[in-house]
A and B are shown apart, each in its own frame.
Chain A
Amino acid sequence: MGKTFTEKVLGRKAGKDVVPGEIIEVEPDVAMSHDNTAAISKTFYNIGVDKVYNPEMHVIILDHCTPAANEKFAQNHKVIREFVKKQGIPNFYDIEVGICHQVMHEKGHVWPGALIVGSDSHTTSYGAFGAFSAGIGRSEMAVIMARGKIWLRVPETIRIWVEGEFPEGISSKDLMLKIAGEIGADGALYKAIEFCGPTIDRMSVASRFVLTNMAVEIGAKAGYMIPNAETLAYLRERVKTPFEIVESDPDAIYEAEYKFDVSDLEPMIAKPHTVDNVVPVSVVKGTKIDQVFFGSCTNARVEDFEVVSNVLRGKKVHPEVRMLVFPASAEVYLEVLKRGWITDLVEAGCVIMNPGCGPCMGNHEGVPANGEVTLATSNRNFRGRLGNKESFVYLVSPMTAAVSALTGRIEDFRDLNL
């Protein structure tokens, strides 16, 4: 009987053949944590261990509230910097570098076949590079610091097959929202997802990332894709660790299979307050918006800036809309700066913010007022997500965010003469 990608990676780590449902103890290749490392370090010391088991295993990236919004966040960052120094953790990225899930692959900490855990739910992202990656809790990260190991249940795998050519202006975000709407917020609960098919094979690195990043929004433990040629070229420039691509066997067992054809996909939108509350944008067209949040680990990379700057160049953001722009990383920022797109966006009336998570979890940099509507390129629209439970968040693609910023209302870009 064939094995899935997940069974192979976890089996290799466990040193035996594994089957779905089995619980194993494994040593991850990489363990990522962010601003929550202060709390993790406290728990780590509470265990009663002085030295981190393997400092090389850990990657620590500050992004969730950068720069610190007040003295409590500042204190939090200070604790982390001191911990990193004391423990000799070599892979530390301070506030100037970017969002953790972007920095992880930019700096070569992600590779095909790797087992990666992170104390952040969007750790599923790295499956776009052929890694097995899953989110864990803070205490679990503290225990990995203490003894290098974690228990994992071997998940069943769901296969999502995608075919067809995207219509002009439709992106992987529209596809992901469509998938979330159809499969539901718990449609892949505890499961590993394999995204495959000709459309996935043709996608850019950034577009593929959107799908694995949001795999957790439908409950998945991990998302995975076979790295395509563009992905491998990207990784070869960055990864120092030797790696081998791990793929599912042709006769591997899948618990469920879904098929999507993107040929006639429309722009999609997730309405408040759940990610699976999805309709075509045309259904809510005309809804007044107050703020656009163009950022997050989901959609703030170079290709997203290309779409947004192409829409906004030479035009003006609606006077009653605040458009906040957060490049996913300093690397992305520099590239879009060189291409002149930051100039386009500033001239259009956007506010350019620092690379980081911004308001995505409600800490700072764009918390909405009561009753306000935010159109976000991010991944979650739970009540209170941006820091105010009396506000409303809709999730969209960068294209839909940009065209709606112009009119101050939710727009279907196909209706506008761009």
Chain B
Amino acid sequence: MLIKGKVWKYGDDINTDVLFPGKYTYTVTDSKEMAKIALEDLDPEFAANVQKGDVIVGGANFGCGSSREQAASCLLYAGVGAVVAKTFARIFFRNCINFGLPALTSAEAVDALEHGESIEIDTEKGEIRCKAGVFSFPPLPEEVVGIFDAGGLIPYTKKQLGIE
């Protein structure tokens, strides 16, 4: 998969409440509406200006806090192509895999990337290409790569259960 877009860069400990506020978790369920409130409490400019293929870049512990998977899915619905961070909080990382949203770990790339610059990610080659050069990221463990490749946990489970 080739992902091309611009970088939206934020800091450490970006939590699920600023990605997708708790007050919406039971009331906003339509994907278009979810896209509109992505990052609402972090960056009011984001939802209105994000383009398909853009990449969110964060520091350590990205996605900490709640288990709410809308913190991952709202990014996907907003058109985000990937999230690159120094480290990911555990449940957020699982949720990304389960929605087929690439969550890539590279501390070097995070340090090098600047807000607004162009970025290209090749998930097959495991490469992040940007102004500062080419950075690699570790592949997903082979036990879960199938979930990602199927497009997420639900399509993967359907396949496992032989449901079309």
User: A120 — which chain B residues lie within 8 A by C-beta?
Assistant: 66-67
Q: Are A47's CB and B161's CB within 8 A? A: yes
Interface residues of A, dominant DSSP: loop
Which of A137, A363, A367 is within 8 Å of B95, CB to CB? Answer: A137
The 6 closest A-B pairs by CB, nearest first: A361-B22, A186-B61, A362-B23, A23-B143, A48-B163, A384-B41
Q: Are A49's CB and B161's CB within 8 A? A: yes
Q: Check A143/B153 contact, CB under 8 A, given A65-B26, A135-B91, A387-B22.
A: yes
Bound Cα distance from A146 to B91, whole angstroms = 20
B residues contacting A by CB (< 8 A) are 13, 15, 17-18, 21-23, 25-27, 29, 40-42, 60-61, 64-69, 87, 89-91, 94-95, 98-99, 141, 143-144, 152-154, 157-158, 160-161, 163
Q: Are B94's CB and A140's CB within 8 A? A: yes
User: What are 12 sample pairs from A and B whose C-beta atoms fall under 8 A apart?
Assistant: A23-B143, A23-B144, A47-B163, A76-B27, A135-B67, A138-B69, A139-B69, A140-B94, A147-B161, A186-B61, A362-B23, A384-B22
Q: Chain B interface: which of A36-44, A160-168, A230-238, A337-345?
A: A36-44
Q: Are A151's CB and B29's CB within 8 A? A: no
User: Which of A64, A118, A120, A185 has the most chain B CB atoms inside 10 A of its CB?
Assistant: A185
Q: Are A385's CB and B22's CB within 8 A? A: yes
Q: Are A139's CB and B154's CB within 8 A? A: yes
Kindly state whether residue A221 has any CB partner on chain B within 8 Å.
Answer: yes
Task: Kindly report which residue of chain A lies nearest to residue B44, judged by CB atoms.
Answer: A389
User: B40 — which chain A residues lie within 8 A by C-beta?
Assistant: 389
User: A16 — which chain B residues lie within 8 A by C-beta?
Assistant: none
Q: Check A363/B91 contact, CB under 8 A, given A137-B69, A383-B18.
A: no
Q: Which of A94-132 contact B (CB under 8 A)?
A: 118-121, 123
User: B29 — which chain A residues lie within 8 A by C-beta?
Assistant: 39
Kindly state whether residue A196 has any CB partner on chain B within 8 Å.
Answer: no
Q: Are A186's CB and B141's CB within 8 A? A: no
Bound Cα distance from A23 to B13, whole angstroms = 26
User: A147 — which chain B residues lie within 8 A by C-beta?
Assistant: 157, 160-161
Least Cβ–Cβ distance between B38 and chain A, in angstroms: 14
Kindly state whether residue A72 has any CB partner on chain B within 8 Å.
Answer: yes
Kindly state whether residue A190 has any CB partner on chain B within 8 Å.
Answer: yes
Bound Cα distance from A76 to B89, whole angstroms = 28
Q: Are B89's CB and A219's CB within 8 A? A: yes
Task: Kindly report which residue of chain A lies nearest to residue B94, judged by CB atoms.
Answer: A137
Q: Are B154's CB and A43's CB within 8 A? A: yes
Q: Are B25's CB and A186's CB within 8 A? A: no
Task: Kindly report which residue of chain A lies nearest to residue B23, judged by CB atoms.
Answer: A362
Kindly state whether residue A401 has any CB partner on chain B within 8 Å.
Answer: no
Bound Cα distance from A136 to B141, whole angstroms = 18
User: A135 — which chain B residues lie within 8 A by C-beta?
Assistant: 67, 91
Which of A76, A146, A186 is within 8 Å of B60, CB to CB? Answer: A186
Which of B26, B60, B65, B94 is within 8 Å of A73, CB to CB? Answer: B26
User: B90 — which chain A residues lie within 8 A by C-beta?
Assistant: 189-190, 219, 221
Q: Are B26's CB and A362's CB within 8 A? A: no
Q: Check A361/B25 contact, CB under 8 A, given A143-B157, A219-B89.
A: yes
Kindly state whether residue A298 has any CB partner on chain B within 8 Å.
Answer: no
User: B23 — which chain A residues lie within 8 A by C-beta?
Assistant: 361-363, 367, 387
Q: Are A384's CB and B21's CB within 8 A? A: yes
Kindly state whether residue A35 has any CB partner on chain B within 8 Å.
Answer: yes
Which of B13, B66, B99 is within 8 Å of A361, CB to CB? Answer: B66
Task: Kindly report which residue of chain B lies nearest to residue A46, judged by CB atoms.
Answer: B154
Which of A46, A65, A137 is within 8 Å of B67, CB to CB? Answer: A137
Q: Are B26's CB and A121's CB within 8 A? A: no
Bound Cα distance from A118 to B67, whole angstroms = 9
Which of B15, B27, B98 is within 8 Å of A382, CB to CB? Answer: B15
Which of A49, A72, A119, A383 is within 8 Å of B17, CB to CB? Answer: A383
Kindly state whether residue A271 has any CB partner on chain B within 8 Å.
Answer: no
Given pairs A49-B161, A361-B17, 13 additional interface contacts (CB within 8 A): A23-B144, A43-B154, A47-B158, A49-B163, A64-B26, A120-B66, A121-B67, A137-B69, A137-B94, A140-B153, A147-B157, A147-B160, A190-B90
Least Cβ–Cβ distance between A190 and chain B, in angstroms: 5
User: B67 — which chain A residues lie within 8 A by C-beta?
Assistant: 118-121, 123, 135-138
User: B69 — which chain A residues lie within 8 A by C-beta?
Assistant: 137-139
Q: Check A382/B17 contact, CB under 8 A, given A185-B61, A189-B90, A219-B64.
A: yes
Q: Are A76's CB and B26's CB within 8 A? A: yes
Q: Check A189/B26 contact, CB under 8 A, given A23-B143, A48-B158.
A: no
Bound Cα distance from A46 to B161, whole angstroms = 13
Kindly state whether residue A274 has any CB partner on chain B within 8 Å.
Answer: yes
Q: Are B61's CB and A219's CB within 8 A? A: yes
